[in-house]
Amino acid sequence: MEWIQATIFTTSLGIEPVTGRLYQIGITGVEIEDESEFNEHLENNRQYWDYVDDELREKMSGDTRIKVYISSNASGDETLQAIKDSINELKKLDIDGIFGKLEITLANMSEEDWANNWKQYFKPLYVGEKILIKPQWEDLPEDAGDRIVFIIEPGMIFGTGTHYTTQLCIVALEKYMKANDVVLDLGCGSGILSIISLLLGASNALAIDIDPNAVPIASANAELNGQPKDKYKVLSGNVVTDIEVKEFIGYHKYDIVLANIVADVIIALSDIVPEQLKPNGIFIISGIIDDRKDEVLSVLKEKGFEILEVNESSGWVAMVCTHK
């Protein structure tokens, strides 16, 4: 498959607003090349080297670059247009120019080239007290201890588990997951959260995403982690508008419902999730930018949810709530 590499030129101050807008579109896997972070890394680790290649310094100089990878097909064209529209909107709002030139360049890449460029940045990650996320191509760290290891081959259009929102959800799962819970993962992407719920003791999980590409990727990740098909099912469909999908999901079946999406979708789900949860079931949500925290909280309370926790990390908000 061919892929388009879209590079957005910004500044260090522009990283959060740009990645926030990408996340709202549904893009969570990004590469960031930032000169200030690179120079700080050199300064703080000076004891480890005597020489840094001038070519590397030159590569990291100038603009901050945020790279995303989009499939070269009709669906990818729609995503690319959404990126262009959102970045142009941000550029109009940035009257003082603090986010840089906000220009986008495109390059075509083969799947092999993409993998070689991208995988080198994704290393084992410790999350919470119990989980270690390990890329399939990496060795298990010697200090992994007794952590539960989640092995992932994320695919090119979904997140890797490194985003703050995903980590906030995993920490909540560690706290609220009980043995033999039944889990529903809405907007599953590569299946990170629902598969981790199984590793934490869930009896079975149903994962749903509006993007059909999620089905083979999440299924493959479940297999990588030894989860049989009778415990883990993946479905593509729109849970908000599709009656058949709602019927397939069923009613009042789930101990935990997960939704690491965006604020607007979470608001739409607030009417539906009470029908899916068992009485006093747990709804774990994330993907909310801090500017919309109060709005989402207000809607959830209006729909009868009791808020158990609100946690924040680097401008992102996660919530844990229940419904009687």
307 with 177, same domain: the answer is yes
Residue with token string 């989980």: 131
CA-nearest of 209, 191, 186, 157 to 284 is 186
113 with 166, same domain: the answer is no
Look at residue 172 and tell me if it is in a domain.
yes
Q: What angle is formed at CA 173 by the lines to CA 137 and CA 179, rounded to 5 degrees?
A: 100
The pLDDT value given to residue 277:
97
Look at residue 126 and tell me if it is in a domain.
no
Q: Which two tokens stand for residue 266?
A: 């979470």
234 with 91, same domain: the answer is no
Distance CA 307, CA 67 (A): 36
Strand pairing partners for 284?
258, 320
The pLDDT value given to residue 119:
66
Distance CA 192, CA 199 (A): 11
Look at residue 148 and tell me if it is in a domain.
no
Look at residue 43 and tell me if it is in a domain.
yes
Compute φ and ψ for 132, nearest 5 degrees.
Answer: -125, 120
Name the helix (H) or strand (E) containing 249: helix 243-249
Tell me the pTM: 0.69
Name the helix (H) or strand (E) containing 108: strand 103-110
Query: Among residues 53, 84, 119, which one ends one of the domains?
Result: 119
Distance CA 232, CA 222 (A): 7
- Exposure string of 19-56, with b = 16+ CB inside 10 Å and e = fewer, is bbbbbbbbbbbbbbbbbeebeeeeeeeeeeeeeeeeee
114 with 169, same domain: the answer is no
The pLDDT value given to residue 291:
87
19 with 111, same domain: the answer is yes
Burial of residue 228, with CB atoms counted within 10 A of its CB: 0-12 exposed, 13-18 middle, 19 or more buried = exposed
Distance CA 164, CA 81 (A): 26
Look at residue 236 and tell me if it is in a domain.
yes
Look at residue 175 and tell me if it is in a domain.
yes
Per-10-residue mean pLDDT of the chain, 324 residues long, equals: 86 88 82 64 42 45 80 83 92 92 86 61 87 90 94 68 88 97 95 96 96 89 95 94 94 97 91 96 94 95 97 92 95
172 with 311, same domain: the answer is yes
Distances (CA, A) of 155 to 29, 152, 189: 10, 9, 10
Distance CA 79, CA 68 (A): 11
**Side-chain half-sphere of 118: how many Cα atoms within 13 Å?**
26
Query: Among residues 63, 92, 119, which one ends one of the domains?
Result: 119
53 with 180, same domain: the answer is no
Please report, for the domain that includes residue 26, its CATH number: 3.30.70.120
Strand pairing partners for 288?
317
The pLDDT value given to residue 63:
76
The range of the structural domain enclosing residue 28 comes to: 2-119
Strand order in the sheet with 103-110: 31-33, 64-71, 2-10, 103-110
The pLDDT value given to residue 35:
63
Distances (CA, A) of 293 to 27, 44, 92, 243, 245: 20, 35, 24, 29, 28
Look at residue 127 and tell me if it is in a domain.
no
The pLDDT value given to residue 56:
42
Cα dihedral: 73, 75, 76, 81 (round 10): 130
Number of domains into which the chain is organized: 2
108 with 210, same domain: the answer is no
Contacts of 138 (CB under 8 A, 6+ apart): 122, 123, 124
210 with 303, same domain: the answer is yes
Compute φ and ψ for 33, nearest 5 degrees.
Answer: -115, 110
* E strands in 191-295: 204-209, 232-236, 254-260, 277-289
220 with 285, same domain: the answer is yes
Look at residue 154 and tell me if it is in a domain.
no
CA-nearest of 176, 107, 122 to 154 is 122
The pLDDT value given to residue 155:
57
Distance CA 193, CA 212 (A): 18
207 with 310, same domain: the answer is yes
Compute φ and ψ for 119, nearest 5 degrees.
Answer: -65, -25
Query: Among residues 91, 119, 147, which one ends one of the domains?
Result: 119
